Amino acid sequence: MRRFRYRCTVCRTTSPVVHGIEALAAVGEAHRQTLHGGHFPDDEMAGQIDSQGR
């Protein structure tokens, strides 16, 4: 199963690992709604990680 993380460079936070693209989208959306009023932070990142967590 593929693993993903969401990264907000404005808050300097990285989400825990989630499994699946839908879960990744939900984490990003929840973060934006809660901390950024629904706005997209500059340089926001999200992506798949390898077996070593990179």
Q: For residue 54, what are the CA distances in angstroms to 9, 20, 39, 45?
A: 16, 16, 26, 13
Pairing, β 3-8 against β 13-14? antiparallel
Separation of CA 45 from chain center:
7
Domain boundaries, the chain: 3-49
Q: Per-residue pLDDT for 54 more than 90? A: no
CB of 40 closer than 8 Å to CB of 27: no
| Per-residue confidence (pLDDT) for residue 47, from 0 to 100 | 85
Q: What are the tens digits of pLDDT across the range 1-51? A: 789 999 999 999 999 999 999 999 999 999 999 999 999 898 888 888 877
What is the chain's alpha carbon radius of gyration, rounded to the nearest angstrom?
11
Would you say the pTM of this structure is higher than 0.85?
A: no
